Structure 1
Amino acid sequence: MSKNLIGIDLGGTTTKMAFVSPDGDIMNKWKIPTDISDEGGHIVPNIIDSIQQEIKDSNFSIDDFTGIGMGTPGAVNIDAGTVIGAYNLNWVKKQNVRDQIQGALGLPFVLENDANVAALGEYWKGAGERDNDVVFVTLGTGVGGGVILGGHLIHGINGGAGEIGHVTVEQDGYQCTCGKKGCLETYASATGVVHVASDMAAEFTGTSRLKEMEDSGEDITSKIVFYLADNGDILANQIVDRVTRYLGLALGNVANTINPANIIIGGGVSNAGNTLLQPTTRYFQETAFKSVRDSTKLRLAQLGNDAGAIGAASLALQYANKMN
């Protein structure tokens, strides 16, 4: 009988964890705050303590599990099991994550980039429908991506595959934290939508609730922009049109390159649903080559906040199968 798996989805504010069956079904899930104090030195010990406590409280034993997978921000060295440069975790120096967790819990441990892990989750149990060729793009604080071809994650020569957020969509556009200008991330992330909204509101002369909010200094979020667009606000619809034009352009070019079965859109911005998906699909179809347009489908992610933990568990399963 196959053993269960442990999945960890490490984020800047919350760490989500789950016990997952070999079939990808969540049996237990929980979360803890991510303590980034002291250069992130408490993060891994807190994860270890939490897993040990959950195993005890759930009447499992460590022998009921075959391995642990984890998705994390930052630059990941999969072979070494280390992370560096996860600045939202205060991990500036190299972190020997695998040595700590594997040493404390005694289970094989696999580490991967968080966007790749979310892609694996959707591929395994979500909108990917187990197609062998799937692209996942996550629209959150930034824009991340993961590419699965032939059933395998693609990393590239230096781990840079799937950096969809840094596809250039506007020459000499907004400055990106990566050092380039005009990256998709600067327009289609949650913060990017707010930036676009601020600039377009400054030039807008018509009647708009969003314009009133901007002028009065109220906090604007991407959720508010899409809500107002859905309710007929002219300015909000113009902002959504611009954001989805850039997103459709980027995804069309990705599809022209690898022609996946599905491109899955997840992350907080994707909660806008069809208000995001329909115009993005229209611009995607304008950009994509005909045979690609007819075969690659854009879909919304299905797993929500569970994608990372499920995908991380699938990493552990893949590793276990490789070892057997």
Structure 2
Amino acid sequence: MKQAILGLDIGGTGITAGVLIDGHLEDVRHIPTPAKESQEFVLETIAEFIQTYLHHDLFGIGIGIPGLVDVKNGIVLNLSNIPSFQHVLLREFLVNRFGKPVSINNDANCFALGVQKYGVGKPFSSLVGITLGTGVGGGIVINGHLYSGAYSAAGEWCSAPYLDQDFEYYCSGKFFIHEHGSKPKNLAKKAIAGDPAAIKAFEEYGHHLGELIKHILYGLAPEAIVLGGSIRKTYPLFKNSLHKSLESFRYPKVIEGLQILLSELDETAIHGAVALVEDELEIVGTLR
């Protein structure tokens, strides 16, 4: 049997897992997250889920979590959508239980690493991944390796002040709900049908996302920016206004070379969680 790495994407509503074997993701499964339960109950749920994958002869375990992580020590610092998960010694718990290497990071960082190792970002050594959904997440890959920053907080442009709110308000689903009274999926259907108000909503959204991308470019100037999350599927509706916003960037040469791509992977966070193990242990290429 070829060596396998297990990846888990732990969210507030569900936990998704899959095994990467010889570059292919297999045995993808989902369970609900017992988000309101005690820390001990949540830990046991995760462990029992991992237990069902042990027949794959796992080399290691990678985990993506929507919160801050002490990456060096494998400590989950806080998860707003799992109240009991505050300062959780997750790596220690899992290493003691399974005796396997465990790598943990923020889920948006996992997304960025996943698309660079296994998705549309493979041709680029440096890129930024942005997830667009109910919130906005960001991850940075430099010279083929994830840059997490202190407590995995690098790439949190969502919290940077913008206009009267922050970038997350204007670049996530919150913008459509609070400013246009409907979810992006519903507005997308109306825009495709020619509704002027819905079309305008996506034009405005593209402008705001363009401002976020310029903010990123001034600090990092990556080769590529990869968009993920559910809102990426509406890209044709805001593509033009996004690029129009980028025209005011002060260094046109950077814009000329920039690639803005859409992630094609369905389980990017799992791919990224798997890549954490490879990236942190510097075994890229030896397990494929």
Fold conserved (TM > 0.5)? Answer: yes
**What SS class does the counterpart of residue 117 from structure 2 fall into?**
helix
* Distance (whole Å) between structure 1 residues aligned to residue 61 and residue 11 of structure 2: 17
Q: Structure 1 residue aligned with 2:253, among 291, 295, 298?
A: 291
Residue number in structure 1 paired with 2:41: 42
- Which residue identity does 2:282 align to in structure 1? N
After the TM superposition, which residues 181-220 of structure 1 pair with which residues of structure 2 at under 5 Å, given as runs?
182-198=165-181, 220=182
The answer on whether the counterparts of 2:64 and 2:107 sit within 8 Å (CA) in structure 1 is: yes
Deviation at 1:291, TM superposition (A): 0.7
* Distance (whole Å) between structure 1 residues aligned to residue 175 and residue 39 of structure 2: 27
Q: Structure 2 residue aligned with 1:318, among 259, 279, 284?
A: 279
* Distance (whole Å) between structure 1 residues aligned to residue 255 and residue 184 of structure 2: 28
The answer on whether the counterparts of 1:2 and 1:22 sit within 8 Å (CA) in structure 2 is: yes
Deviation at 1:91, TM superposition (A): 3.2
The answer on whether the counterparts of 1:39 and 1:91 sit within 8 Å (CA) in structure 2 is: yes
- Which residue identity does 2:129 align to in structure 1? F
| 2:227 is the alignment partner of 1:244 | no
Larger Rg: 1
After superposition, give the CA deviation of every residue in 1:193-248 in whole Å (9 maximum; x if it has no partner): 211113xxxxxxxxxxxxxxxxxxxxx21111122122211111221121111110
* Distance (whole Å) between structure 2 residues aligned to residue 223 and residue 272 of structure 1: 8
Deviation at 1:167, TM superposition (A): 3.3
Residue number in structure 2 paired with 1:3: 3
| 2:145 is the alignment partner of 1:155 | no
* Distance (whole Å) between structure 2 residues aligned to residue 105 and residue 67 of structure 1: 9
| 2:19 is the alignment partner of 1:16 | no
* Distance (whole Å) between structure 2 residues aligned to residue 282 and residue 21 of structure 1: 42
The answer on whether the counterparts of 2:71 and 2:151 sit within 8 Å (CA) in structure 1 is: no
Cα pair distance change 1:277/1:28, threshold 3 Å: farther
Cα pair distance change 1:288/1:46, threshold 3 Å: farther
Deviation at 1:322, TM superposition (A): 5.5
After superposition, give the CA deviation of every residue in 1:52-88 in whole Å (9 maximum; x if it has no partner): 22334xxx3xxx2211110001210011111122010
The answer on whether the counterparts of 1:227 and 1:272 sit within 8 Å (CA) in structure 2 is: no
Q: Return 5+ residue gaps in structure 2 as ranges.
A: none
Question: RMSD of aligned C-alpha atoms?
Answer: 2.1
Residue number in structure 1 paired with 2:224: 262
Count of paired positions = 285
Deviation at 1:321, TM superposition (A): 3.3
Cα pair distance change 1:288/1:66, threshold 3 Å: farther
* Distance (whole Å) between structure 2 residues aligned to residue 258 and residue 279 of structure 1: 22
* Distance (whole Å) between structure 2 residues aligned to residue 77 and residue 230 of structure 1: 44
After the TM superposition, which residues 133-152 of structure 1 pair with which residues of structure 2 at under 5 Å, given as runs?
133-152=126-145
Residue number in structure 2 paired with 1:32: 31
Deviation at 1:141, TM superposition (A): 1.5
* Distance (whole Å) between structure 1 residues aligned to residue 236 and residue 40 of structure 2: 41
**What SS class does the counterpart of residue 88 from structure 1 fall into?**
coil
Cα pair distance change 1:155/1:317, threshold 3 Å: closer
Deviation at 1:259, TM superposition (A): 1.7
The answer on whether the counterparts of 2:110 and 2:273 sit within 8 Å (CA) in structure 1 is: yes
- Which residue identity does 1:129 align to in structure 2? K
Q: Which has the higher strand share?
A: 2
Give the alignment's TM-score, normalised by structure 2: 0.91
Identity, in percent, stands at: 26
| 2:102 is the alignment partner of 1:109 | yes
* Distance (whole Å) between structure 2 residues aligned to residue 318 and residue 40 of structure 1: 28
* Distance (whole Å) between structure 2 residues aligned to residue 99 and residue 92 of structure 1: 14
Give the alignment's TM-score, normalised by structure 1: 0.82
The answer on whether the counterparts of 1:260 and 1:296 sit within 8 Å (CA) in structure 2 is: yes
Residue number in structure 1 paired with 2:160: 167
* Distance (whole Å) between structure 1 residues aligned to residue 2 and residue 247 of structure 2: 43
* Distance (whole Å) between structure 1 residues aligned to residue 15 and residue 151 of structure 2: 27
